[in-house]
Amino acid sequence: MQNRMMITGAGSGLGREIALRWAHEGWRLALADVNEAGLAETLKLVREAGGDGFIRRCDVRDYSQLTALAQACEEQFGGIDIIVNNAGVASGGFFSELSLEDWDWQISINLMGVVKGCKAFLPLLEKSKGKIVNIASMAALMQGPGMSNYNVAKAGVVALSESLLVELRQLEIGVHVVCPSFFQTNLLDSFRGPTPAMKAQVGKLLESSPISASDIANYIHDEMAKGSFMILPHEMGRMAWALKQKSPQALYDEMASMAEKMRGKVKSVS
């Protein structure tokens, strides 16, 4: 390990906090995002924290931008040790309301963006025997109502990570997948969905979370050090996942009653 890391979605939120956590240990960071002002701010904070690196505008839907980013890492750092596929967007709405465009947008960023990130950086990771960190969500495991396209995209990230875990072990490349629940972040800035009421509900859940992006970055750091594959930062998330494994029907019933309540709330607002 030569302490070189690439992070997508590094201009704010969890991506920024991951950058700062590793910056405290003097890592060199390749910071990517579509938000260039946010990137500049992250790099400033990284340098204040004891790290260094460079920024690059990168849309994860465009594979050529990711391969160019990998090339920049090779030129500036001589390679890469950890990649964090963190860039993502939020969406919500009942299945009947979501358009196929909503599905394409969600899958292209939250799932295919991760696929393309892994693909673009794999040659560098083979050389360094590095690590892949894919940021999924508890939505990948719990499939809450009113967010089917988000659930499917994030479940795909978990399935991809499981596939890579078993395929890349022989190459000595580590794989981790992170499934946070709601936490204090600016994810709503990217929210797309058919009803304003759904956005308001998600906003309340984000704001009421007792855990911050910084807490999650610390938890990821500690769990990676232990070699954990599935990283579940929220205690409630760990409990819910244990319940689903033990008694899936109980969880489906709970989610179905939640869907009923959500429909009632959305109707009353609209």
Active site residues: 150
Q: What is the largest CA-CA distance in the chain?
A: 57
Q: How far apart are CA 188 and CA 190, in angstroms?
A: 5
Burial status of residue 65 (CB atoms within 10 A of its CB: 0-12, 13-18, 19 or more) = middle
Q: Which residues pair with 7 in a beta bridge?
A: 31, 84
Closest CA to 13 of 29, 140, 35: 35
212: which strand partners? 184
Provide the terminal-to-terminal Cα distance of the chain, rounded to the nearest Å.
54
Report the relative pairing of strands 131-135 and 174-178 from DSSP bridges. Answer: parallel
Neighbours of 205 (CB within 10 A): 12
Q: Tell which residue, 203, 208, 206, has the closest CA to residue 269.
A: 203
For residues 230 and 137, the answer to whether their CB atoms sit within 8 Å is no
d(CA 122, CA 117): 8
For the beta carbon of residue 47, count every other beta carbon within 10 angstroms. Answer: 13
Query: Token digits for 5?
Result: 């890391």
Cα 13 to Cα 16: distance, rounded to the nearest angstrom: 6
